[in-house]
Structures are given as structure tokens and as C-alpha cells.
Chain A
């Protein structure tokens, strides 16, 4: 199956207007920036769209900034994108069953560690 990711070929068009421009209102820009850092780039999947150079990431940044400038809440934009791409696009962990190992792992590891050193943990009764 052949698939053309933006890493293999780029368009000839320039970046969208708000891809690389900050919003004039600093509060809005801060909210936009916070959201962009929590959205995954679908091309370079280890980066957020705030960091990625991919064209699709640029278009997503433009989309986020335009919507925040129009007054939309970051959580609404996040939900809209999750409706399109699934939870993989958001870095924020959810409460769904697939994410339970993530939440329970620290507790589980703590308990395993305690069991491993159980002989050294002696409750002294003096």
C-alpha cells in the first residue's frame, strides 16, 4: 500500500496564515499554544503539532488559532478533533478502559517493588 506522508513530498503552497503567526491577543495565544502542545502530529507521530514541521501540522495550528480567535473553548476543539481521529490525537490521557494500565501502573509497580523487598521491611516491635 503506497501512502504519501508529508515527509515524502510537500505541496508548493505556502503555509496557512496562522500556522506560524501568533494571535494578537496574548491570552488567546497562550490558550492556543497550550492546546497545540497537547495535540499529536499525525505525520511525525512523536511530536505535538506545536513542534512539528509537517504541513498538516501547520494547517492544524492554523485551525486551532482561528477557532480560539473566534472564541471557541480549547476543550471543544480537542473534542472535535477526537471525533475525527480518535483519542490518539490528544496527548491528554483519558479515563477510558484502554488507558487504565497507564493509571494503575505506578501503583502496581510500587506494590511489586514492596513485595520484592518484603524481607527487608521488618516492622519492629520493641
Chain B
């Protein structure tokens, strides 16, 4: 066997170790990203989730101003802290609309009373239909929709305080 060939198994072992260490350092992103970025919001009308709040439809999102559509639920644990961040965004002038996934009016009312209510409108999506139509695969997720109703950015996971400048920049870009 030639000298080089004798080192082949060792080289192969080295390559495998490098690959494993690299993948441990940069884990795979298992989130499924929506393919609807850049496309118009699909047509939908959702019933009002609460009697005290207006319902949400796709026509409301093509109002000429950018919107932040927050896909959330009262049973969603990270949404509890996200609501406070959304309140900060609302105080900066952002229009926040909500799509409540598989929620009941009384649970939702209790959730908003306890954690705060930044939403202008909340649509009730009891069978995840609009969630699927948007290409969202879990809660919470947020979509930046521009004034013409085109989805500009999908944020998977709760918006954290450190994300606020980025979200505001995306909303500015969507003007």
C-alpha cells in the first residue's frame, strides 16, 4: 500500500470529527420559514375574537400603512412576555394586529387583562386556517405587512426587547 493510502482512514476520521464539531457549533435551524415573504397576504376574513375588539381581515392589512400581524394564543407561554414588547412597539406608533390561534373568548380576555393589550384588531382562527395560509408553523410568530398588503418579513418566535430596533427598521422599510 502506498504511503498516502495508509493515512486515508485517519484522514477520513479527521474529516468526520471536523464535520461533527462544526454541526455542534452551528446547529440546524429546525424552524420552517414561510415561503410567503414577498407575496401578498392571502385573502381572509376572520371573526372577531372578542366582542370588544374589531375583527381582522386581509383588507384591513392593505390600509396604506404597515402593520405588524402577531400570530399568538392565550395558551402560548412565550406570548406572555412578548405582549409587553408589543406594547412598547405600539407606543412607538406601530399598528399591531393579532390572530388568535385556537382560542376561546374568555381565555383570551383573561390573558389580555393579565398581560396587557396592544392589539388594534384580533381575529379568531379556531382551526389554524389563516395560520396555514400565511405559512406560519407555530406560535408566536409575527409578520411585517406593508401598506399594500405584501408580507415583507416573518419573525419566528417571540419578539424580544433586543429585536425591537430590527422590527422597527423592517416596518420603516415597509412604508
Contact = CB atoms under 8 A, between A and B. Distances in A.
Interface in B94-109: 101-104, 107
A83 to B, nearest CB: 6
Interface in B35-50: 35-36
A1, A2, A13, A63, most chain B CB atoms within 10 A: A2
Contact of B78 (A2, A81, A85, A89): A2
Interface residues of B, number: 37
Given A9-B77, A42-B138, A16 B127 contact: yes
B75 A11 contact: yes
B132 interface: yes
A3, A12, A60, A83, most chain B CB atoms within 10 A: A3
A9 B33 CA distance: 21
Contact of A84 (B36, B103, B138, B140): B36
A12 B75 contact: yes
Interface of A: 1-6, 8-13, 16, 42-43, 45, 55-56, 59-60, 62-63, 81-86, 88-89
Given A2-B78, A59-B132, 17 more contacts: A2-B81, A2-B157, A3-B78, A4-B77, A4-B139, A4-B140, A6-B138, A8-B77, A9-B76, A11-B101, A42-B138, A43-B137, A56-B131, A59-B128, A59-B129, A62-B127, A85-B32
